[in-house]
A and B are shown apart, each in its own frame.
Chain A
Amino acid sequence: MSAISELSHLKVSKARTPEEKAARRKENSRDNKAGYLFLLPWLVGLVVITIGPMIASLYLSFTDYSLIQAPQWSGVDNYVRMLEDDRLHNSLRVTFVYVFVSVPLQLVVALAIALLLNEGMKGLSFYRSIFYLPSMLGGSVAIALLWRQLFGTDGLVNQVLRLLGVDATIGWIADPGYALWTIILLHVWTFGSPMVIFLAGLRQIPSMYYEAASVDGASRWSRFVKITLPLLSPIIFFNLVLQVIGAFQSFTQAFVVSNGTGGPSDSTMFYTLYLYLRGFGQFQMGYAAAMAWLLVVIVGALTAVNFLLSKYWVFYDD
């Protein structure tokens, strides 16, 4: 993960004279102690709660583990089997489509709405709450039921289409050709979380920048491009990285909408859903662990790429 090295752009390079270097070093050592003190709760959590299970899962990925019986060492069997598992390959394809379509779409919608809701206007706090509602309901069973009703063959969507004169008989959720798109829509629709983060980010942009710009007579668009986007870029970056990581692990929505099957015919079989079905449904936790580590490699690589590219567009004040 050297890609995150941009984080460690130390200001050391700026120190030129020996005195400066010495001062810098002294400060660095002070930072060292303080850094670890501030990090202490997280480090304890890592050691006690996080790392052990992670290492355990890595070990389990090299075993045959049913959860009920003790794991049996099986070498790289699980990883070899993954190469020949058509359903796994299909789930990767489904997940990639989902990530690359729904993440950008959701972020654009969230940013647009956040911009709209950021301006002084009556009733804004009410709108904000309304727009966040779907995210509160998010992966609940009730939403899954509703979604199945809306997009059913006789659902509201088809009824509206029929009113518009379209002979709509498609089962949006039932047809393997469309089911994934209803889940993508569901994901985009729950744009509340990135929206809130954008809103908070927008609020952090000092208003003096805008005041200066409006004195200069800059247009709305150029203010957006020249001020909002660069100053919001760390937050956009955060949303992008976390949404990608999150979307690859997307589970709940597909699980509840397809009733845990990933159907129809695996068309909404997300990677993590398949992993879960293997691990808990078929008692192949070793295989599930191997799948999880493949996911870490994939998501890790994409995150690294994200961090590498961030050098070119993310603007930090520090």
Chain B
Amino acid sequence: MANMKEIHSRMKSIKDIMKITNAMYLISSSKLKKARKSLLATEPYFDKLQETINDILLVAPHMHQIYFERREELEKADRKRGYLVITADKGLCGAYNHNVIKLAEEEMAKGDNNFLFVVGQVGRQYFMRKNVVIDVEFLYTAQNPTMYRAGEMTDIILEMFEKRELDDVYVIYNEMVSPLKAETQIKKLLPLERKKFERRAAGIPHAAFYPSAAQVMDNLVPNYVRGLIYGVLIEAFSSEQNARMTAMETATSSAKDMLRELDLLYNRARQAAITQEITEIASGAKCAQKS
């Protein structure tokens, strides 16, 4: 009998959890719909932005501009690397956070002077526990990205780069390649690289920069970085919702599988208990008849 009770309470707890996973599935699928819409709207901009900046870097003349500073005089070990790591605000989304954190840690193993800007609570908590140097005041949520938030992040990062507190800046995030596949990406934000050799190989002349190359770059680079961060945030957000939706779907279906199995066990235990009871009664009756 105790077995039956145990199975019953186990089934109840699975049912309760299933209610939660199912609700989360519904929530994330509706959030995904919204995120997908903004991703679809922003993707042309994001792609064109990268294409155009590549194009511009191809035709840019030589100039002394801070965002092009490669600081080659620094030893490799002395370089201060900044990483903008984009995680989710919550867990329960499969390997989403784990993948980003893993790649970030692999990258961080390359040098000692690492500085992290973490978006999202999960990554923040993780790196704080690990005692990694992170920007404590870089408090931005991963949810519903806006251009304004991307602009603030850009200001912080560019300022640190200008002050030489950072020498290389990367961004690490999950990209949704297809609804079934997410890929962890790393992109270099700064410094920009002028494609001198490729330009010469292609035989393209320099383009005119108006009013001046330096002035254009002063305006263009913050704009580009902001656009890129915005695009990355949007991409990551919809990837997060997608990951959560898939994870919750799997959780719900595996809960259903478990319930089916437990149901069988429960019925079997019930049957056994009934059979036992009948046998007991029957043998008891037999005994009573004999005497």
Question: A and B, one complex?
Answer: no
A residues sitting closer than 8 Å to B (CB atoms) are: none
